[in-house]
């Protein structure tokens, strides 16, 4: 009996294009009913991974199941369980929104009148009724994406793949798309979403896999990922810039760590246990070091991302160059 606990279970997926290992042994386990984010820079292998899971492309190695159905040997069954919305709108430009929805509805086994009803429902739901009969050439990018997503939902599939659903959209349209995605999950869908935007993954995803160069470099909930590079950062703005050395000495003594001074009058230190901040502040007062501002910053996903994908070095070098 097929194991239907997981929406997606992938083991060691590999896809090679010539010399380029686009996907180099990716494992993914996506439980049912959640938004799973696949986060990575351009060319990391996100789209290739989706293409394999959505049976658009045969893997060169490894295996995967969708609700327990093998993507290679039961591809036709898998296709009955998924909806795919690609990076580029995959609808017919030359036809109107209604015509698109009706053709796809009929391909999915609906009768003409059922397809018509379904098309009307989806047009209302995605706010496309007014433009329903216009050719798509006159659609905005956001409308096209919405129609594309609507087409993916005709069969009411339990798993939806969204490949960079908001790339190229303006902030308002992006927020609408986010609201739609959240609503889908409430309706019982599982969603695999790729994105290059950390904010998007942070906002939407219940779990995230960070991939880089065809490999999963980290996996977990957004909070877990943030915690994995530690640690909050303590930032102290000194009233007297000459006291930087005295301050770092105190920090060394109390927190047993080396503090840094990224700019005059500011001292920063990684801090595993925010509770120790009290001790530090007391010690600073005893040394007559006055502070203008104290802040504790949790790491952002950006920092996680850069730390994991090795982009942080490049960033530091460029900063160094400026000095």
The residue ranges that bind another protein (CB under 8 A) are: 4, 54-56, 67, 69, 74, 76-77, 79-84, 86, 88-95, 99, 103-104, 106-108, 118, 121-122, 125, 135, 151, 153, 155-158, 183-184, 187-189
Query: Could you tell me the smallest distance in angstroms from the CB atom of residue 182 to another protein?
Result: 11
Shortest CB 26 distance to another protein, Å: 19
Nearer to another protein, 57 or 291 (CB): 57
What's the CA gap between 305 and 12, in Å, rounded? 22
Burial group, residue 40, by CB count within 10 angstroms (0-12, 13-18, 19+): buried
Residue pair 64/13 in contact (Cβ under 8 Å)? The answer is yes
Shortest Å, Cβ 54 to another protein: 5
Question: What does the DSSP 8-state code read for residue 87?
Answer: S
Residue nearer to another protein on the CB measure, 84 or 255:
84
- C-alpha dist (Å) from residue 202 to 19, 159, 199: 33, 20, 5
From the CB of residue 260, how many other CB atoms can be counted at a distance below 10 Å? Answer: 13
Are 291 and 284 in contact by the 8 Å Cβ rule? The answer is: yes
Provide, rounded to whole angstroms, the least separation between the CB of residue 99 and another protein: 6
Helix (H) or strand (E) segment spanning residue 116:
helix 112-125
Q: How near is the Cβ of 18 to another protein at its closest, in Å?
A: 15
Query: Which of 136, 308 has the CB closer to another protein?
Result: 136
CB of 183 to another protein, least distance (A): 7
Residue number, 103 or 281, with CB nearest to another protein? 103
Smallest separation, CB 106 to another protein (Å): 5
Phi/psi at 10 (nearest 5 deg)?
-120, 140
Alpha-carbon torsion angle 284, 288, 289, 295, nearest 10: 50
Three-class secondary structure of residue 58 per DSSP: coil
Q: Which lies closer to another protein via its Cβ, residue 179 or residue 294?
A: 179
Q: Which 8-state DSSP code applies to residue 61?
A: E
Q: Say how many C-beta atoms besides its own lie within 10 A of residue 117's C-beta.
A: 13
Least spacing, CB of residue 2 vs another protein, in Å: 10
Alpha-carbon distance 92 to 99, whole Å? 9
Helix (H) or strand (E) holding 13: strand 6-17
For the bound state, the minimum distance from the C-beta of residue 122 to another protein, rounded and expressed in Å, comes to 6
Choose between 115 and 232: whose C-beta lies nearer to another protein: 115
Instruction: Report the distance separating Cα 300 and Cα 296, nearest Å.
Output: 12
Instruction: Return the closest-CA partner of residue 37 out of 215, 170, 196.
Output: 196
Cα-based torsion angle of the residue sequence 172, 222, 311, 49 in order, rounded to the nearest 10 degrees: -80
Looking at the Cβ atoms of 29 and 75, the one nearer to another protein is 75
Q: Which is nearer to another protein, 184 or 284 (CB)?
A: 184
Q: Which is nearer to another protein, 90 or 260 (CB)?
A: 90
């Amino acid at each position: 009996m097929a194991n239907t606990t997981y929406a997606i279970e992938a083991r060691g997926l590999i896809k090679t294009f010539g010399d380029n290992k686009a996907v180099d042994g990716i494992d993914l386990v996506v439980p049912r009913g959640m938004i799973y984010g696949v986060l990575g820079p351009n060319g990391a292998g996100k789209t290739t991974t989706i293409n394999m899971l959505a049976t658009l492309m045969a893997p060169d190695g490894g295996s995967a199941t969708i609700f327990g159905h093998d993507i290679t040997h039961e591809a036709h069954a898998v296709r009955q369980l998924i909806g795919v919305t690609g990076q580029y709108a995959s609808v017919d430009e030359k036809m109107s929104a209604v015509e698109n929805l009706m053709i796809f509805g009929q391909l999915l086994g609906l009768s003409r009148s059922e397809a018509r009803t379904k098309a009307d429902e989806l047009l209302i739901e995605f706010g496309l009724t007014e433009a329903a009969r216009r050719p798509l050439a006159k659609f905005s990018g956001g409308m096209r994406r919405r129609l594309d997503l609507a087409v993916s939902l005709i069969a009411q599939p339990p798993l939806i793949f969204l490949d960079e659903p908001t790339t190229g959209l303006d902030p308002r349209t992006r927020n609408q798309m986010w609201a739609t995605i959240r609503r889908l999950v409430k309706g019982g869908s599982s969603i695999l979403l790729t994105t290059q935007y950390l904010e998007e993954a942070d906002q939407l995803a219940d779990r995230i896999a960070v991939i880089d160069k065809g490999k999963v470099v980290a996996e977990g909930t957004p909070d877990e990922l943030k915690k994995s590079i530690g640690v909050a950062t303590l930032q102290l703005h000194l009233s007297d810039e000459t006291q930087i050395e005295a301050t770092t000495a105190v920090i060394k003594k109390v927190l047993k760590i080396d503090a840094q001074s990224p700019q005059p009058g500011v001292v920063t230190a990684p801090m595993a246990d925010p509770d120790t901040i009290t001790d530090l502040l007391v010690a600073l007062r005893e040394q007559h070091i006055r502070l203008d501002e104290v802040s504790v910053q949790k790491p952002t996903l950006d920092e996680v991302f850069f730390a994991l994908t090795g982009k942080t070095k490049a960033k530091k070098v460029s900063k160094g160059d400026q000095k």
